[in-house]
Chains A and B, each alone.
Chain A
Amino acid sequence: MTSVTDYAASDAMASATSGQLATFRLDGDLYGVEVEHVQEVLRSQQLTRVPLAPSAVAGLINLRGQVVTAIELRERLGRPARPEGTDAVVIVVRLDGEAVSLLVDSIADVVDVDAADFEAPPDTLEGQSRDLIRGAYKLDGQLLLALDVHKAVSA
């Protein structure tokens, strides 16, 4: 158990950085990814499903001739599926030269965050999402959950 806490602590320390986060909404919560990872944001795209793929893989999209895997972030974070009739927004992130896209509910602002506002993930956060959330920045009136993009896309 100690090792887990140690890990979480060191992880939190390491991720407590200032900078800009591109924020988006998912099932009522506000999340953010480092701006430098974000390549572009697209409206909902036609998805080609991939049979037998992990459930978080929503499918493949055609990004100007490039085939990009789309990860359903709701599934990844263990949230209920997006309500029928609402379109997902696609955030294309570039990691280690490879483009991957994340399906979210809607895009929000780019926010400047301060390491001083950073806190490790609340203890109440459980399971899957705990691994994917680096921590939370306490903004005015709400919490901004910092997403660990690398973990999120390694579905």
Chain B
Amino acid sequence: MDGLDDIVEEFLVESHENLDQLDSDLVALEQEPNSRERLSSIFRTIHTIKGTSGFLAFNRLEEVTHVGENMLSRLRDGELALTPHRTNVLLQMVDTVRALLTSIEANGGEGTVDVSAAVAAVTAAMEDSPAAAPEPVAVPAAAEAPAKAPAKAAVAKAPAKAAVAKAPAKAPAKAPAKRASRAKSVAVPAPAPVPADEFIEDVTPAVPDILSEEPSAAVEAPATGEQPEVDAPAAEGAGGQPRRAVADSTIRVDVDLLDELMLLVGELVLTRNQIVQNVARQTDTDLIRASQRLNLIASELQEGVMKTRMQPIDHIWSKLPRVVRDLGQQLKKTIRLDMEGRETELDKTLLEAVKDPLTHLVRNSVDHGIEAPDARKKAGKPAEGVLTLRARHESGQVVVEVADDGAGIDPAKLGAKAVERGLITPDALARMSPTDVLQLIFLPGFSTAAAVTNVSGRGVGMDVVKTNIESIGGTIEVESDPGIGTVCRLRIPLTLAIVPALTVECASDRYAIPQISLQELVSLDAEKAANAVEEVGGAQVYRLRGELLPLVRLTDVLGLTSERHDGHVVIAVLRSEGRRFGLVVDRVINTEEIVVKAVGGQLKQIGLYSGATVLGDGTVALILDVQALARRALRTETAERQESRASVSSAAAAETERQRMLLASIGGGRRVAIPLDTVTRLEQVRTDAVEKVGNREVVQYRGAILPIVRLDRHLGAYGETDREVLEVIVYADHGRSVAIVVEEILDIVDGEAAVRSDIDDLGLLGSAVLGDRVTELLDVRAAILAADPAFYSAPAANASTPSGVHGSYLEV
């Protein structure tokens, strides 16, 4: 019984509401029988129920609503006039519908509810001519009920009959030809129930001819109206404890009201922040405790209110299978649509906002991403293309992916197209990474049909998609492997009103950066910053784990002067449009939930701020628009870098392979680079563990004797000698190992810069500039031979390859 389908449940909720409306509409209609508006509204309601019930295979429900709809449409079109009798049968029909719904809700099926009576009543009421004495109609209808009762022989119907019978009973006594409605109202307060047949005698003579005029029609109606009451308790009894009716467990709320609530909660959260900040400076424990509770409750309230606005993404996904199917058929492609994470929830407004872009992306994938079956077979892929929709929560955002296993996008072709269209200069293109090139499809002006067919087929309206996504504070990026597929990834904030943000300080003002764009924070002290922040042709870059991160100084963008003079560099690594860049700020304050406030038109025009917010202490902070910032800052950066890069590019072309180098200091300020592939392990060895074999130093290491070479002595530098622990680089090959002692392991770098020179010395291969410092390149072979002269000549038992080290053994 709890297995009610979502659809059925929704249908029930909706129908119950509609029926309540219907009741009052019908009654109101009686007052103004000619209101077409009301009739239309009633008609629509019944029509909706009928449509859904047909779809859900509730046949009896469909049957009864069908006749109701027929009658209503004729009433609406003026073919029939509304008489009290007709109102009655319509109300009966509504009751029957309600009975059916109750049964469906309780048992999951239509149960034993009989609809034939209501159907017959409505049909009959439709047939009698509008002129035919409308007033007494209800009376015979009701009067006949007892007559039919024995035939039906339903126990439950007995009280119903009695009640109905009362109506005619009184009617003749006071005024035989009373309006049905009046009769009804009299019937209700009627005292002690009296055997029905007694009254029939009274009634029949009063209205003899009408009885015959009115067939079996309206009769059963009151009975059916009562029946649900009989069914319902039975169902409850069966189900153990009564469960809250579906219609009672939900209510509909105006979205505007929710919006307002959300706004207020936002304000509350702000006030909470202010209080919590202030209380942190207090010593009153009661106050502190109260503020903690406030903190907690406000958070829960915020979460709760946010939840009221949350809907699973399935709401918009559910329409996509149809889109994919239709479009696939049209294009003669077979496509399977997979969905992962359809229960992922996000704010209703956002859901609405991503609906169109998402549909667009899906259409795009079907249209241009996935190849025709023939082409797929040729490429060695199954004929059936797979389109995968994925949604998940990730660090306070919703990530939605549209992935296809189609032909992918060829960056070269795409780039060429962009150049051809004049969207980008060939020079600029040459400097772009393949990933950056892919993002070109979001450029406005790329979105023409021609571009789509000529390039590997992407880009219709992608700029619009991007604009839409950005307007809700989201981001979009595209990834593609030619021949394997394409992924469009949307990152959408959970909600618009309250955003987690990083607050930073710049020139003594505070700014908020939405977390959605933030990837990580890097803090460099003055000493490190001096080395780590490098210049590439006038533009500053930072090497973040081997990748060059262009740096943008917020002070430069805003035209301010930094107040940080200690050389410290704080970098917020931001992502925008698939590109990363580092925003240099004076300092990071903290992360907090901020409520986004719109800024006036004057400030919107600046195009750097997406809004403003009030921080915990009541000051106003601007929210940086990271996308706009990136667009503004990175474009000028690249332009500046252009010439300088061009001159270097020829030299860069000569650079063949990048070699990873281990940087170590050996004392006396000298730095040595050792190719990483000759390093097996980094160890620390206690000085007192060093023993002597002849005049060589050795150390016991993993059950073997490890010869040691002290690099400082080997290279003629003078390091500290009285250290307790030696930093050791172990090199092993063919079962033999040596240990190279250095002063300190500094870093692992890419040896790409390589302004090499042949200035060398004994034991060195040469020198190079690595990380802004002149670094000596160690002749590893010579160093090893110094430690173990027999290292390369001694035959090893399990030697299979002449040389080479297993880099994977590296343990740092």
Contacts and interface: CB of A to CB of B under 8 A. Distances in A.
Contacts of A60: 599, 603, 612, 620, 622
A69 B604 CA distance: 11
Contact of A67 (B599, B602, B606): B599
Given A67-B599, A69-B600, A53 B606 contact: yes
Interface stretch (A28-36, A43-51, A113-121, A141-149): A43-51
Interface in A75-106: 98, 100
Contacts of B613: 67
Contacts of B509: 48-49, 51
Given A57-B603, A65-B270, A69-B603, A50 B597 contact: no
A54 interface: yes
A68 B601 CA distance: 11
Contacts of A46: 618-619
A62 B618 contact: yes
A68 B621 CA distance: 12
A155 interface: yes
Q: Indicate the size class of the contact surface on chain B.
A: 20 to 34
Contacts of A66: 597
B322 to A, nearest CB: 42
Contacts of A136: none
A74 B559 CA distance: 23
A67 B612 contact: yes
A48 B622 contact: yes
SS of A interface (majority) = strand
B43 interface: no
A96 to B, nearest CB: 11
Given A67-B597, A69-B599, A51 B559 contact: yes
Given A49-B509, A51-B558, A60-B612, A67 B267 contact: no
Given A52-B559, A54-B602, A65 B620 contact: no
B614 A50 contact: no
A81 to B, nearest CB: 19
B609 interface: yes
Contact of B619 (A51, A53, A62, A69): A62
Given A67-B614, A67-B620, A50 B270 contact: no
A154 B599 CA distance: 13
Nearest to A46: B619
Contacts of B598: 67
A51 B210 CA distance: 88
A154 B219 CA distance: 74
B387 to A, nearest CB: 43
Contacts of B602: 53-54, 57, 69, 154-155
Interface string B584-609: 00000000000001111111001011
Nearest to B608: A52
B606 A52 contact: yes
B560 interface: yes
Contacts of A54: 602
B267 A50 contact: no
B558 A52 contact: yes
